[in-house]
Amino acid sequence: MSSKKILVIRFSSLGDVVLSTALLPNLKKKWPDSQVSFLTKSTYASVFDRNPFVDHVYIFDASRQTFSQLTKEIRLENFDMVIDLHNNVRSWFICFMARAAETIKVEKLDWARRKLVWFKRKSKVLDKSFRERVLDCLVPLGATVESPESQLFPSLDRQLEETFSLSSHKNLIGLAPGAKHATKRWTIDGFVEVANRLGAIPDSKILLLGDKSDEEISREISKRIRVPCESLTGWTSLSELIAIISKLRLLITNDSGLMHIGEALNIPLVALFGPTVRAFGFAPYRRTSRVVEVTNLPCRPCSLHGEERCPLKHHRCMKDLDANAVLLASSMLLEKGETRENSLEDCPI
């Protein structure tokens, strides 16, 4: 049957929702006439703007009244299939209420990742990334994966381009110094040094990117930058931020949602990993990406998502991350426009 009503569930977070977009074109390829809906938080709904593989976006709200209304609405839709990428109590209840003929769940592997944190032992189940495991749910359905990458569909209008002077310099280099948890943030000194050296490249401009929670750190960095620089932190909607990132020549970012946006847009990027590790399954995967991290630290990883303070009070995973390693990875991506031919390389310290 080429026509199905399919509901995909992933409430949060930004990076996970972006990674989940890899599933959508493959569903449409298997069932060309299907109606695909996605359920997520309102904060992330614009991830699906202009996405030709999504027919409808449902908004998840945890308040009792709106959640009750949502489950009733989903029940009345008579979905044929529900793909649960969040796999928690609320998503289970939505699956139950949907009464779909097929329900597919993707395991979160929290226990395997906790074992890696607590005992520094990697389980075989972590050999595949979250994105790969999302795509694997297509296999029992008889679908083939022809488009394995996450995808976004930005729209950059002239007014937005003029407002933020996005055509004023050839090399727009984005810095995303924020992260939800403090231990995942690289040092201010590191970002300042990298900004001043990359911004000195002729016809280059530094853009500081993030949401309102990142304003303070961006303000501290911008005070010390001596090259062309503009802070857009907290000034854009998510949709506008996606459009701006699509114009970058390079993105340097902590392990955050903006890292996944850059990858979905195939923007060359340098990802800075500290308390979290690639083995968790959420690291960059494209040929246009580099990972910079401090290797051989016995305390890594120390948490699933980062913490507000280093448990050992030294934060060496970020403080020892050298700006020269970040600059080396950046130069590899910037020189001679060869970024899309390079294979993925990591830059340990």
Identify the pLDDT of residue 163.
84
pLDDT mean over 165-184: 94
Which segment of 235-239, 299-303, 341-345 scores lowest on mean pLDDT? 341-345
- Asked if 5-141 and 158-348 have one fold, the answer is yes
280 closest CA partner among 308, 256, 303, 311? 303
310, 281, 308, 279: which is closest to 295 by C-alpha?
A: 279
What is the CATH class of 158-348?
alpha beta
Collapsing DSSP to helix, strand or coil, 113 comes out as helix
Query: Which long-range contacts link 60-68 to residues 24+ away (Cβ below 8 Å)?
Result: 60/11, 60/90, 62/90
Q: Fold for 5-141, please state it.
A: Rossmann fold (3.40.50)
Q: What per-residue confidence (pLDDT) applies to 1?
A: 58
Q: What is the pLDDT of residues 146-157, one digit of tens each?
A: 889 999 999 988
Model confidence, pTM: 0.94
Q: Is 102 left (phi over 0), alpha (psi -120 to 50) or beta?
A: beta
Whether 337 shows a pLDDT value over 70: the answer reads no
User: Residue 174 above 50 pLDDT?
Assistant: yes
Structural domain boundaries of the chain? 5-141, 158-348
Average pLDDT, the chain: 94
Non-local (6+) Cβ contacts of 313 within 8 A are none
